[in-house]
Amino acid sequence: MLLPLVLVLALTPPTAAVPVTVPGAEHQQFARLADLTTTGTTLSGHTDPADWAGLTSTALPVPSAVPGIQIDGYFPDTSRTNTNHGWQHDAQFVLRLPDRWNGGLVVTGAPGVREQYANDRAISDWVLSRGYAFAATDKGNTGAQFYRDGRAMEEWNHRFTQLTTAARTAVTRRYGHAPRRTIATGISNGGYLVRWQLENRPHLYDGGVDWEGTLWTVDGPNPLTFLPPVLRAYPAYVAGDPSAHAAMVAAGFPAGTEFLWDYHYRYYWDLTQRIYREEFDPRFDGDLEAGVPFCASGTPSCDTDYSYASRRRIAGPAVSRVALTGRVKRPLLTVHGTYDVLLPISQDSDVYAAMTPDRLHRYYRVEQGTHVDGLVDAHPDRLRPLAPCHRSAFVALERWLDGVAPPESATLPRPTDVSTCPLS
């Protein structure tokens, strides 16, 4: 839980200038801070370390202090899953406006079902150090019961668009002119939002960087097509069934990633399947809500036995409302790890890359990269962080927008120094 901003503001009074306002916000708090990076905001209560826990490796550096203005607030909404600041209100956002501005704006959405501060270590710190203004949204609903909000994922796209539009106006008010460059970026579900925005709201952006975005397609693949098979196969694999390993690999979870399977079974696969199935196909389990955790195959209404193909007539229309087409209309760079065993690369970005026009897309497959960089600390010899590759792709996008084409799509081998990520 963050410190109440009204208390923090007493310690960090705003300048004499009239506070910048975010249009459309129902509530907002303005603060001038000596440091907008996580070093400063952790101390002042303007971030939530629990929100970004596990997303980055401990070796990821924090830049020097970046002074500026932070605005925290929320847009009108009826759901109340986000408890930050004691507001009990969704559609929360954070906007950071550095004193030394480079003319650009970066907009992000939270990965997973986290809140608006989830990208603070992975993205905000670095882009602020480069002079960008930074804006992030909680997507309008948070937590493992996000599906209770009703058409929750449709709201994610709306909230990203809403924040982008409002942040562009707030930046104009703060600096006297509109941002010269607006870039969308995000991780996992946040990467999905980047893809959707560049397909459907391209007029708001100059380009985007997609970090392992979730792929939703009506006919598959999508998480509801590859998670049930792995939920069926993994217990048999643990029990020693020799055919189960082949079933895991066939589902998209490659040989060589076995050391990651148990962690993902316990913390990701089962929960992800149940809560997203509840979002798109709530009638599958009758009166239950998000099914039965870790149910064995054969249990009535068990997500382990879910078949998207047989439920396509029911779930498909809901998926279609958020589905991706690949028809991006602004430059997009994608980075995705080959050791991702939550969104396996063969079922996600490999497919999305084949859907997108080559002239507007570059795709970098990162050998030994996994879904969350926090796991690099536990397996430094077998994994590498994706944050350096995201940063290399971001710089490549900047150059692309300046007229210099980025390196061609490629598979990136592990470098000697994993804090770097050459794209060619």
**Contact at 8 Å (CB) between 56 and 385?**
yes
- State the pLDDT confidence band at 18, using cuts at 50, 70 and 90: low
335-388: pLDDT as tens digits:
999 999 999 999 999 999 999 999 999 999 999 999 999 999 999 999 999 999
Residues paired with 281 in a beta bridge: none
Q: Beta strands 332-337 and 207-211: pairing type?
A: parallel
Task: Identify which of 22, 205, 33 has the alpha carbon closest to the alpha carbon of residue 124.
Answer: 33
Instruction: Give the pLDDT of residue 424.
Output: 84
- % pLDDT > 90, the chain: 95
Taking 80 as the threshold, does the pLDDT of residue 2 lie above it? no
With 50 as the cut, is the pLDDT of residue 304 above it?
A: yes
Angle 255-323-321 from CA coordinates, rounded to 5°: 145
Region of poorest pLDDT, from 18-22, 135-139, 277-281, 413-417: 18-22
Q: Report pLDDT for 149.
A: 97
pLDDT grade, residue 297 (50/70/90)?
Answer: very high
- Percent above pLDDT 70 for the chain: 96
Higher-confidence residue of 8 and 105: namely 105
CA 374 to chain CA mean position, Å: 15
pLDDT band for position 14 (cuts 50, 70, 90)? very low
Query: What's the longest Cα–Cα distance across the chain?
Result: 70
What's the rounded Cα separation, in Å, for the pair 374 and 335?
17
Helix (H) or strand (E) holding 280, with range, is helix 270-280
Question: pLDDT digit string (tens) for 223-234?
Answer: 999 999 999 999
Strand partners, 71: 30, 95
CA distance linking residue 228 with residue 273, whole number of Å: 7
Other Cβ atoms less than 10 A from the Cβ of 248: the count is 22
**3-state class (DSSP) for residue 391:** helix
272: tokens are 């992800």
Q: What is the mean pLDDT of the chain?
A: 95
363 residue type, one letter: Y
pLDDT tops 80 at residue 390: yes
Radius of gyration of the chain (CA): 21
pLDDT at 17: 53
pLDDT tens-digit map of 72-84? 999 999 999 999 9
Contact 180, 104 (CB under 8 A): yes
**Per-residue pLDDT at 416:** 97
Residue 213 in this model has a pLDDT that exceeds 70? yes
Mean pLDDT, range 159-167, rounded to an integer: 98
β-sheet bridge partners, residue 410: 364
**What distance in Å separates the CA atoms of residue 160 and residue 91, rounded to the nearest whole number?**
10
Query: For residue 6, what pLDDT band results from cuts at 50, 70 and 90?
Result: very low
Please answer whether residues 131 and 104 qualify as being in contact, where contact means their C-beta atoms are separated by less than 8 angstroms: yes
Residue 43 has pLDDT above 80, yes or no: yes
The answer, yes or no, to whether residue 303 has pLDDT greater than 50, is yes
Tens-digit pLDDT profile for residues 319-349: 999 999 999 999 999 999 999 999 999 999 9
172-207 pLDDT tens trace: 999 999 999 999 999 999 999 999 999 999 999 999
